[in-house]
Amino acid sequence: MELQRLGVKFFLHQSSQLELDDLVPVFHSWIQKKVVGDHILVDVHNYSHVPRGPGILLVAHEGNFSMDSGDGRLGLFYYRKQPLEGSLESRLGHIFETTLQAARLLEEESRLGQLHFKTDEFLLVANDRLKAPNTQEVFEQLKPGLSVFLRRLLDGDDFTLSRQEEPGERLTVQVSTGCSDDAEKLLARLS
Amino acid sequence: MRPPKPAGSLLRAFLLIAIFAADPGESEMSTWKDQLAGQIDPAWAEEIDVFETQIEQRRQGKLDEKIFAETRLRRGVYGQRYDNGQRHDGIRAQEISYPSGSLTKGPETAWDAPGMQRIKIPFGGVTPDQMDVLADLAEEYSDSVLHVTTRQDFQLHFVHIDDTPDLMRRLAAAEITTREACGNSVRNVTACPLAGVCRDEPFDVTPYAIAISRFLLGHPDAQDFGRKFKIAFSGCREHACGLVSMHDMGLIAVTKNENGQEKRGFECYVGGGLGAVPHQAKLFDSFLPEEELLPTAQAIARVFARLGEKDIRSRARIKFLVANLGIDEFRRLVLEEREILSEDERWTAYLSDVRDYNERTLREGKGVNPAARPEGFQEWYKTNVYHQRQDDYGVATITLPLGDLSAWQMRELAELARRFAGENVRTTVEQNFVLRWVSQSDLPDLYQELERVGLNEPGAGSILDITACPGTDTCKLGIASSLGLAGEIRTRLAGKFMEMDEAVRNLRIKISGCFNSCGQHHIADIGFYGTSRTFSSRKVPHFQLVLGGKWTENAGSYGLAMGSVPAKRIPEVLERITERYVKERAKGQSFQDFIRDIGKLELRDSLEDLMTVPAYEEDATFYSDWGDPREFTLGDMGIGECAGEVVSLVDFDLAAAERLVFEAQVKLDEEAYPEADELAYGAMLQSARALIKTEFLDVADDPDIVVEEFRKRFYDTEIFHNRFAGGKFADYLFRRHKSPPREHTRDHAHTLVEESQLFIEAAHACWERIAQHQVAAASASGSTAGPSVQ
Ligand code: HEM
Ligand code: SF4
């Protein structure tokens, strides 16, 4: 078994205006229209009353989507619950693709205010304290595979990786880049 | 507990390479079972291993699904809404095609469907280290949110069954078990969150709550119940905290003087309970000496296991056994059983330490520093701080909106507990936390820190502090959205809280998504439970308004239903009732007295206009629930009109039945029990007749004929049966018809009024099913005719 429970978070750009509750009907319509590929969508849950929580949650069998503020900043968080096949890079590819597709859907959604997701900074979260405790060593081990993948995603743009060291928190890698491409462009590189 | 430290650097390096290896399955990975070996009580570890094996057996089809279902329930692994693989998405019923296919974890419960994990927290006591573990589990296996329940438990939602053994191991390593958190077993033992620091208690009930929960956990005499068994402790009779009267076994601390020595004991109650038909507990013993606590509980368990109902689930709680036998006979049987029990040293072994039980106080208590008062502190202090009987210490209530907090908040709160309150954290039955033993001088700092983590809401125990069950959000039985309504009411009231009249601020609201009353609506000043009504073949979410229940005096009295209000009008109803209370109440008049004085008839009249539903074309918002944009409707507008006409005939008769039961409530309040009984019975007959008339218009109104026709047409055919409750509501009518009460007591009349209300609800639901069926049949045959009346 290898590390499977990985998550990705793309932050909302400051200029974005979002009433969290407005996402509820949007996520419901995703279920109605089955718009998320490879996912069995189950239900929507409104946690907007919980500070630093998952906000509005779309539960799927394979992984959950949420407009999350768990780390204090609002963003689209997707984390995988069911295992994927293949190498770390290909698993990352799958997870990023799913997240970016969801981000694109939200950016295009006319029922929401203009949303934009930042691509110059995002997070990779290892949601598994057994296999990936939040230590420097594990971070070092993760770096090579992650870097290979990021070079593809960012098409050669420079990036830096740093680990968030808050005690008790999951291993979280912050990726910072000079990338100014939007979610659509990044997505195109993954298909 | 923090993440485990890997054993050695070589091994660690090996593991890490394996984790990120491109090729899965080549290396042997460590598991939680390995990691936590030696850190878990061996008996608990074995139980979890057995459960893991049972999961595997079930997966391979070697364990019956019903047996597996009860097995997992007894480990706190619950089903969740949509786990039958069906969900109405607002347009149509969609199949959720889980990869597990036909594999089930119980009848009609898909294996892969997300479920709920309940985590038992005896007396609500958690340590900061345990809070850290709970936060980790919420993130890794659930949705990063922890939910505190009305019985001091935690719940995690959207958990996959395959993750539950590891989840349980990690809890077990932190000395928490999920065993018997659900299922037909002794559930979490609850206790006042102020036990040990309360100014009113004669002694601290905590060590007794610990002793009884340990003693009964997995006890062989407590494994064969027909239904769950709940125990609660209270420090005193007058205050609400323990809610003793609504428990299967309730214990209130009392002392007496024997030969100049203070003797500890309990006022012991049995047979209380909420549920569809609430019962007040009966006094079993006014002084149960402390050394008799465990053997008596054991004897009660044995009598309940032996004589309690097993087949009819709806009559299986001990309250029915106590009601059937009478409290005197029940007591006699228990005492007889007590005599023949073989001596067990655990009965009294713990007593030698009970008087030394003392929660550690880390910090020296000092009075509040008057200089440092952050903004907002004063309001919070007024509602959220309790002065302990120990000088200079306070209890701070951490109010949780809808009982929820995020994993991050939980971790931060654990840190604050370490800093300000030592190990002394408890959950409360109002779905909050309390930090005990906080030095008064630390309160301003604590407040500031709570503000930083978003846990500084004032209004503990106020109208803002709404209790709600999971309702349609996650519960399979939910009819209307209790959480959605609670959220809406909270948002509306929060803005006006500071300007609110003190009397209104102190009211309590409790909401259940259906009649099962998990949200404890019976004991609220203002309670609601979810129902539904059909208008022109579209469904409209409603809530029954239940007024005048009592939270104080250990849930001293239960409220009665006033009528169904469309969900979308509830905020207006609330506003109207509270405004009237502020304007018209006599000085110091309680809400219960106020309601009683106005009289239910007049109150209902004053709300009549809010019980109407506009046509769909006029205002479609009524046809969806709070917080859920999906439409409630299952009907088709094209056919609606014809169906509507016929529906209105039945609806008319059912409304008449509602009116009768309403009058029965009024009579009950006037203590006119024979009349209340007759009216409640009449209401059931009336609604049964309403249904019969859909098939046989000229049915006579002789009760014998109505009951006979109803039995033949609706009961024997199971048309009246509810998918979950079976024919239980029909039994209410049959029982009353066959055996009218020999003597008229308040208890009898109250029960019948409740039953009658439920019977009418069931008649509504039955008619809705018939109408849908007929509409579907009509559209399939191309006809535009609605349900026919002959
Ligand atoms: C026929 C089925 C059910 C009946 C009769 C029933 C009844 C009750 C009653 C009377 C209470 C409690 C009040 C108390 O003692 O504090 C309760 C508590 C509760 N019920 Fe139910 N319930 C049923 C099914 C469910 C289901 C399916 C769910 C949703 C998953 C649920 C969720 C809860 C919760 C969250 C609590 C408070 C928690 C606790 O015990 O820790 N109940 N139930
Ligand atoms: S009251 Fe009804 S809806 Fe609410 S949790 Fe209980 S069974 Fe579910």
The pLDDT of residue B764 is above 70: yes
Q: Which residue, among B555, B560, B570, has the nearest Cα to B486 in the 3D structure?
A: B570
Q: Which of B142, B516, B522, B754 to mutate to test the pocket of ligand 1 (most atoms within 8 A of CB)?
A: B516
Average pLDDT, chain B: 86
Q: Which amino acid is at B6?
A: P
A173 Cβ under 8 Å from any chain B Cβ: no
Q: Which of B12, B35, B89 best tests the A interface by mutation, with the highest count of A CBs <10 A?
A: B89
Cα of A52 from ligand 1 centre, angstroms:
28
> Please, where are the H alpha helices in B40-143?
42-59, 65-73, 128-141
Cross-chain residue pair B16–A138, CB shorter than 8 Å = yes
The pLDDT of residue A54 is above 60: yes
Domain positions in chain B: 9-123+147-173, 197-354, 377-452, 462-640, 642-790
Classify residue A115 by its DSSP letter: -
Cross-chain residue pair A40–B99, CB shorter than 8 Å = yes
Rounded to a whole number of angstroms, the distance from the CA of B412 to the nearest CA of chain A is 10
pLDDT in the model for residue B1: 35
Cross-chain residue pair A2–B629, CB shorter than 8 Å = no
Helix (H) or strand (E) holding B356: none
Q: By residue range, what is the domain housing residue A97?
A: 6-190
Q: How confident is the model at residue B638 (pLDDT cuts 50, 70, 90)?
A: very low
Q: What is the CATH number of domain B642-790?
A: 1.20.120.330
Residue B536 · residue B640 · CB < 8 Å: yes
pLDDT in the model for residue B658: 80
The pLDDT of residue B14 is above 50: no
Distance CA B515, CA B518 (A): 8
pLDDT in the model for residue B779: 63
Cα of B43 from ligand 2 centre, angstroms:
33
Helix (H) or strand (E) holding B751: helix B746-780
Q: How confident is the model at residue B240 (pLDDT cuts 50, 70, 90)?
A: low
Averaged pLDDT for residues B627-639: 52
Q: How confident is the model at residue B11 (pLDDT cuts 50, 70, 90)?
A: very low
Structure confidence by residue, pLDDT tens digits, B21-50: 443 333 345 899 999 999 999 999 999 998
The pLDDT of residue A27 is above 70: yes
A131 Cβ under 8 Å from any chain B Cβ: yes
Other C-beta atoms within 10 Å of B61: how many? Answer: 10
- Pick the ligand that lies closest to the CA of residue B118: 1
- For the four alpha carbons of B375, B379, B384 and B385, in that order, the dihedral sign comes to positive
Distance CA B209, CA B406 (A): 28
Ligand 2 pocket residue status of B79, Cβ below 6 Å: no
Distance CA B709, CA B713 (A): 6
- Pick the ligand that lies closest to the CA of residue B543: 2
Q: Is B629 exposed, middle or buried (0-12, 13-18, 19+ CB in 10 A)?
A: middle
Q: Which residue has the higher pLDDT, A62 or A37?
A: A62
B462-640 shares the fold of B197-354: yes
> Please, where are the H alpha helices in A3-135?
23-33, 88-108
Q: How confident is the model at residue B555 (pLDDT cuts 50, 70, 90)?
A: low
Residue B206 phi, psi (nearest 5): -55, -50
Ligand 2 pocket residue status of B486, Cβ below 6 Å: no
Which 3 state secondary structure label does DSSP give A174?
Answer: strand
Cα of B516 from ligand 2 centre, angstroms:
6
Structure confidence by residue, pLDDT tens digits, B170-227: 999 999 999 998 888 899 999 999 999 999 999 999 999 999 999 999 998 988 788 8
Other C-beta atoms within 10 Å of B601: how many? Answer: 13
Q: Which residues in chain A are closer than 8 Å to B113, comparing Cβ atoms? A: 42
Residues 6+ apart with CB under 8 A from B370: none
Q: Which residue has the higher pLDDT, B667 or A98?
A: A98
**Minimum CA distance residue for ligand 1 atom 29:** B475
Structure confidence by residue, pLDDT tens digits, B351-374: 999 998 988 777 888 887 767 789
pLDDT in the model for residue A1: 34
Averaged pLDDT for residues B261-277: 88
Structure confidence by residue, pLDDT tens digits, B707-744: 999 999 999 999 999 877 888 999 999 999 999 998 99
Other C-beta atoms within 10 Å of B379: how many? Answer: 15
B145 Cβ under 8 Å from any chain A Cβ: yes
Structure confidence by residue, pLDDT tens digits, B84-115: 888 888 888 888 899 999 999 988 889 999 99
Q: Is B745 exposed, middle or buried (0-12, 13-18, 19+ CB in 10 A)?
A: exposed
pLDDT in the model for residue B581: 93
Residue B485 · residue B626 · CB < 8 Å: yes
Structure confidence by residue, pLDDT tens digits, A9-22: 999 998 888 999 99
The pLDDT of residue B294 is above 70: yes
Strand B467-468 to B509-512 pairing: parallel
Distance CA A44, CA B630 (A): 11
pLDDT in the model for residue A178: 87
Query: Does domain B377-452 bear CATH number 3.40.50.2300?
Result: no
Structure confidence by residue, pLDDT tens digits, B767-787: 888 877 776 776 665 433 332
- Pick the ligand that lies closest to the CA of residue B471: 2
> Please, where are the H alpha helices in B394-481?
407-420, 443-452, 471-474
Helix (H) or strand (E) holding B199: none
pLDDT in the model for residue B329: 96
Residue B244 · residue B281 · CB < 8 Å: yes
CATH of B197-354, one of 3.40.50.20, 3.50.50.60, 3.30.450.30, 3.30.413.10: 3.30.413.10
Q: Which residue among B411, B454, B490 places its CB closest to the CB of A51?
A: B454
Q: How confident is the model at residue B667 (pLDDT cuts 50, 70, 90)?
A: confident
Ligand 2 pocket residue status of B470, Cβ below 6 Å: yes
Other C-beta atoms within 10 Å of A144: how many? Answer: 12
Q: Which residues pair with A159 in a beta bridge?
A: A177
Question: What is the total residue count of chain B?
Answer: 790
Cα of B571 from ligand 1 centre, angstroms:
25
Chain center to CA of B540: 24
pLDDT in the model for residue B650: 73
- Kindly list the distances between the CA atom of residue B187 and the CA atoms of B171, B191, B232, B764, in Å, as whole numbers in the listed order: 17, 13, 10, 33
Report how many domains make up chain A. 1
Other C-beta atoms within 10 Å of B95: how many? Answer: 10
Rounded to a whole number of angstroms, the distance from the CA of A155 to the nearest CA of chain B is 22
Tell me, yes or no, whether A1 lies in a domain: no
A87 Cβ under 8 Å from any chain B Cβ: yes
Strand A171-177 to A159-163 pairing: antiparallel
Strand B190-191 to B231-234 pairing: parallel
Percent of chain B beyond pLDDT 70? 89
The two counts, helices (H) then strands (E), for chain A are: 4, 8
The pLDDT of residue B586 is above 80: yes
pLDDT in the model for residue B31: 95
The pLDDT of residue B506 is above 70: yes
Helix axes B164-173, B128-141, angle to 10 degrees: 170
pLDDT in the model for residue B298: 97
A129 Cβ under 8 Å from any chain B Cβ: yes
Ligand 1 pocket residue status of B476, Cβ below 6 Å: yes
Q: Which residue has the tokens 């009649």?
A: B515
Strand locations in B316-391 (E): 385-387
Distance CA B528, CA B314 (A): 21
Q: What is the pTM of this model?
A: 0.84
Tell me, yes or no, whether A149 lies in a domain: yes
Ligand 2 pocket residue status of B527, Cβ below 6 Å: no
Q: Which residue has the higher pLDDT, A65 or B319?
A: A65
Q: Which residues in chain A are closer than 8 Å to B110, comparing Cβ atoms? A: none
Cross-chain residue pair A52–B406, CB shorter than 8 Å = yes
Residues 6+ apart with CB under 8 A from B174: B1, B129, B130, B133
Q: How confident is the model at residue B474 (pLDDT cuts 50, 70, 90)?
A: confident
> Please, where are the H alpha helices in B224-325?
293-307, 318-325
Lookup: tokens for B348: 């009294």
Residue B760 · residue B658 · CB < 8 Å: yes
The pLDDT of residue B643 is above 50: no
Strand A6-12 to B231-234 pairing: unpaired
Cα of B218 from ligand 1 centre, angstroms:
21
Q: Which residues in chain A are closer than 8 Å to B136, comparing Cβ atoms? A: 129, 168
pLDDT in the model for residue B552: 61
List, as own/partner pairs, every contact residues B15-22 make where C-beta atoms lie below 8 angstroms and the sequence separation is at least 24, other chains included: B16/A137, B16/A138, B16/A141, B17/A141, B18/A2, B19/A2, B19/A3, B19/A131, B19/A132, B19/A138, B19/A141, B20/A2, B20/A3, B20/A88, B20/A141, B20/A142, B20/A145, B21/A2, B22/A86, B22/A87, B22/A88, B22/A89, B22/A145
Q: How many CA atoms lie within 13 A of B240 on its CB side?
A: 14
pLDDT in the model for residue B648: 43
Average pLDDT, chain A: 94
Cα of B528 from ligand 1 centre, angstroms:
15
Which 3 state secondary structure label does DSSP give B53?
Answer: helix
pLDDT in the model for residue B10: 40
Lookup: tokens for A175: 């990726």
Tell me, yes or no, whether A49 lies in a domain: yes
Q: What is the CATH number of domain B462-640?
A: 3.30.413.10
